[in-house]
Chain A
Amino acid sequence: MLDLCKKVLNKLLQTLQRFDPIVYLSIDTSSFYEDDIKALRKGLNEKIGQYILLKFSQHLSEGQFEAMSNLTDGNEIIRRLQQSIPNMEDKLQEELENFKREYHI
């Protein structure tokens, strides 16, 4: 099931390419090499994706979730999420804010 989570969230994150967690979380990377920054960005994206999916999973049945895992199109995944989760974009933003707040506690 955790593999399933990762599979879905990776597809989701591919669609959210413009989202940069480093910028979003205001992390100073001035002393980092480019490779470190890439690794950090990739890792944060995964963690934030897990966080959001866990929050969203409250609104999904196991069947819905599994069906989603068979999709290859990130946009389609988002569309399905939108169908299952009212005001998905707002909730996504809300959860991102929640994550950011917890990160800076």
Chain B
Amino acid sequence: MIEPATNSSPEASSRVQQLLDRAGVIVDRLGYPVKVGAVTGTAFMLTACGTPASTENSSDSNEVPVIQQRAGEVFQTVTAPLGEVKTRVEGFIADREEKGRAERVKQENDELIARTLAYQVSAPYNPAGVVRDDLLFYPEKHTFVEEQPGEGNYRTVVSFSKPEKEWSRGLMKHVSVDTNFHTKQFSNSTDDRDVFLVSSKEGVKRLEMERSKISLTEITLAADTYDLPTLAPITSRIDKDQRYKVLDSFLRDGSVDDLRSLNDDFRRTLQYGVLITRPDNSVWFPDSDLQGWNIIMERGGMRHIIRARISTLFSEPYVVINSAPVNSDHWKKSEEDSEVWAALKNGDLNGYVTKQLDDIHKQNEVRAGRGQKPLPGTEDWEKIARTSNFTPNAPLNPSFQDRLNQSDTAKQIMVDKARAAEESRQS
């Protein structure tokens, strides 16, 4: 904002601001590539004040242009896989948050994100026979949008939450699937014009109107863009080919009962101490509040933890996938996740559950002091701690049993892979 002039009128100041905003838009349009840094030891960076990224030279439809600099070399424009760029951006931001002095880094991150990611992302993909090449990153909203007919009309496709609006804990970064109607839940910003609140009657009406616009393709887009594992394990009854249809159905039909049923599945799964491992060697276990899954997977030599969440908290169904690349350093810095990983490697969740319960009890003591009710899920955790020995020997329904039959082998593969990766890193 300009400084208010002492000898001026509000109208004139407003006009001046408009003229300056117009100039600002031209500058913003140039874009500031972001300095990503060496997340995994490979020199690979986008510079915060370097060459504006351009899509003109990208010959591979799955790649985007970035600015690369190796030690001692000048910046050069190269292309990199879109997924890798995103991973590194997320990792970089997480890294900065870890290292930084909170306020300063937060400001820098805000600026980096808001000002430096304003480059056009050429992201064609073909997950469902549909080629898309028109995604734009909208930095002010941390959102990938697609252009709609009509000037200046964009529609949110995938949105990152702002770093300071941590919905989950630790290093998690948020990717919301088709965020048109729930991103607002995770943002306190009042200027998000592309999203709207669904916790009001008006919001629900809007949701009803928008549901018709939510398509299978869009959900596929979100998942495939981020190279997430199949969402199928969220339900025990979806095969690979049908995985998105169920999500689509949730979003279209808002079948809250289905979601509650799934949550029941989660609870039962945890009660029986199930670590679900999948053919792709990802490991799934329920989230601490029993409303989602923690998924540990390896892609491109990096461990990722992904939090898939289905909740009825806001009375409307939504599906959120949180994803953050987790290299070994990140992992070690997060005490809780480190314990989770250790539990996974040991194939034993007892310690994890004990700690969760301790944490919950501590939080409940604080809440009681404030006159608040215990945290939701407390009783579940207590029951789990009382009754579960995390040996999958209790009678299960057939779908669980099927998965358990695979579990030990796949889990061992995961442990072996983790050990090999660790040894590789140490050597």
Contact = CB atoms under 8 A, between A and B. Distances in A.
B23 A47 contact: yes
A47 B20 contact: yes
A58 interface: yes
A43 B20 contact: yes
Contacts of A43: 2, 16, 19-20, 23
Given A1-B49, A35-B8, A36-B13, A103 B35 contact: no
Interface stretch (B26-34, B79-87, B327-335, B405-413): B26-34
A82 B270 CA distance: 67
Interface in B45-82: 47-52, 69, 74-75
A5 B115 CA distance: 13
B26 A33 contact: no
A1 B49 CA distance: 6
B24 interface: yes
Contacts of B8: 32-33, 35-36
Give the bracket for the number of chain B residues in contact with chain A.
20 to 34
> What is the interface of chain B mostly: helix, strand, loop, or mixed?
loop
Interface string A18-51: 0000000001000111111011100110011011
Contacts of A35: 5-8
A87 interface: no
A71 interface: no
A27 B19 contact: yes
A103 B15 CA distance: 15
Contacts, number: 91
> What is the interface of chain A mostly: helix, strand, loop, or mixed?
helix
A55 interface: yes
Interface string B2-22: 110111110011011001101
A12 B302 CA distance: 45
Contacts of A90: none
B359 interface: no
A96 B161 CA distance: 37
Interface in A48-90: 48, 50-51, 53-55, 57-58, 61-62, 65
B111 interface: yes
B5 A4 contact: no
Contacts of A57: 49-51
B27 A33 contact: no
A47 B16 contact: no
A5 B12 contact: no
23 contacts: A1-B47, A1-B48, A2-B49, A32-B16, A33-B7, A35-B5, A35-B8, A36-B12, A36-B13, A36-B16, A39-B2, A39-B16, A40-B2, A40-B16, A40-B19, A43-B16, A47-B20, A54-B32, A54-B49, A57-B51, A58-B51, A62-B69, A99-B23
Interface of B: 2-3, 5-9, 12-13, 15-16, 19-20, 22-24, 26-27, 29-30, 32, 35, 47-52, 69, 74-75, 111, 115
Given A54-B30, A58-B51, A62-B49, 20 more contacts: A1-B35, A1-B47, A4-B49, A31-B12, A32-B12, A32-B16, A33-B8, A33-B12, A36-B8, A39-B3, A39-B5, A43-B20, A47-B26, A47-B27, A48-B23, A51-B26, A51-B30, A57-B50, A58-B50, A58-B52
